[in-house]
Amino acid sequence: MDLVTFQALNFRNLARDRLSFSGGVTLIAGDNAQGKTNLLEAVATLGNLTSFRTRMLSRIVTRGQREFALNGEVRGAYGTVVLEEHVDVGPPLKRRLMISGKIVSPAEYLNVFPVVALTREDSDLVIGSPQGRRSFLDRVTFQIDAQHFDRVVRYRRALAQRNAALVMAATDAEMSAWEAELAGAAATVLTARTTVMAQLSTTFQELYDEIRDPSFPDVTLKYRSDSWLQEGDSRELENQYRERYAVQRQRDRDAGFTLSGPHRHDVVIEAGGRPARDHLSTGQVKLVGAGLRMAALELVESARREKLPVLIDDIDAELDDAAVKRLMVRAGADRQLFVTSARRHPAAFAHVQIARFTMRRGVCEITGEDVHE
């Protein structure tokens, strides 16, 4: 899959010019604060509807504006389509999504052009909050199984309903009804997550062993659910949750919210048998975060049977050239790759055919195509 053309309107400092890209490696060079990261952020937002830098879309729109728009022509195994995203940052936030001129739902849109971005923010997957890791796992699960979007929406709705009932002192009969719905939704989310988690852990272990320096510690992944939960199929998990919610009802009333369920689970990352956040250096954390992104990418590509674009922001930061080379070997040469760097000739891409762009004050201009010796 390739991004063929791209245009941004009112997105940070980016110019409105329509850009054209080929496959292979595209290097976007330039000094700091010229807009290199902004361009990758815009491409990622086109495909994923989220920024890798902020959850507040109001920070993305150009100062003095209320709306931004992104447009991209994407060529993939299914043919060529045009994606359009129009966002009024509000409040309230309003978003219109289109595929080749047809208005579509977020679930339909997100399935077309999933983008993987390797950035400084990848470290948050390792040392950040459980919420970020849960969102990461849910997105990967959705990209493999589109029905997971509806599972998560159902669970969040049921969770909000039970939490509201707790605060409003609903009767036990009313609580039982909400708990039945929540238990069923929790079981389906958990079953889907753990299935993908098993695949992700295996793929990550193989990939990490390939890209790490021999001196780096072993790193393992595992899914942490509720400590009282016993293994079982979806029906058995649903029964366990229903019983637990009933037993824990008064405790949850006192807390004012539901204390058990997939909204409190985590992807645990350990290095040398200890929490990774306490054991890894900054560079090691970034490599583990990049490894998680790449492992997820490989699972999604296997399900889709096509290669997806990868964005690498500030490739020279924190990872040494040897680590970047190993990562790129694993990624393979048969994909579209967008890279930003303050250097015009990153050592990791020696002897690689590169399309070169230069970014100055939000304007991205092609400067040629060559092989960096």
Q: For residue 28, give the CATH number of its domain.
A: 3.40.50.300
Record the tokens describing residue 372, joined without a space.
């960096």
Q: What is the pLDDT of residue 341?
A: 87
The domain boundary, picked from 304, 329, 351, lies at 304
pLDDT in tens, 108-142: 999 999 999 998 888 999 999 999 999 999 999 99
Q: What's the pLDDT tens digit per position in 322-343? A: 887 888 788 877 899 999 988 7
The model's pLDDT over 276-310, given as tens digits with 9 standing for 90+, comes to: 988 899 889 989 999 999 999 999 999 999 999 99
Tell me, yes or no, whether 106 and 133 share the same domain. Answer: no
pLDDT at 222: 95
* Residue 299 domain boundaries: 122-304
Identify which has the larger pLDDT, 240 or 353: 240
> Within this chain, do residues 300 and 174 fall inside the same structural domain, yes or no?
yes
Share of the chain above pLDDT 70, in %: 96
Q: What percentage of the chain's residues is helix, strand, coil (to nearest 5)?
A: 45, 25, 30
Q: Is the pLDDT of residue 369 over 90?
A: no
Reply yes or no on whether the pLDDT at 74 is more than 60: yes
Do residue 30 and residue 73 come from a single domain?
yes
Same domain, 346 and 270: no
Are the C-beta atoms of 237 and 305 separated by less than 8 Å?
no
Give alpha helix (H) positions in the chain. Answer: 36-48, 106-110, 123-127, 130-144, 148-167, 172-211, 234-247, 249-255, 282-304, 321-331
Instruction: Indicate whether 102 and 234 sit together in one domain.
Output: no
* Residue 192 and residue 169 in contact, taking contact as beta carbons nearer than 8 Å: no
Same domain, residue pair 243 and 348? no
- When pLDDT is averaged across residues 41-49 and rounded to a whole number, the result is 96
- Tell me: do 165 and 22 sit in the same domain: no
Same domain (yes/no): 135, 105? no
Number of domains into which the chain is organized: 2
> What's the pLDDT score for residue 351?
60
pLDDT of 329:
81
Residues 129 and 98 in one domain: no
Last residue in a domain, options 250, 274, 304: 304
Least confident of 1-15, 19-33, 218-232: 19-33
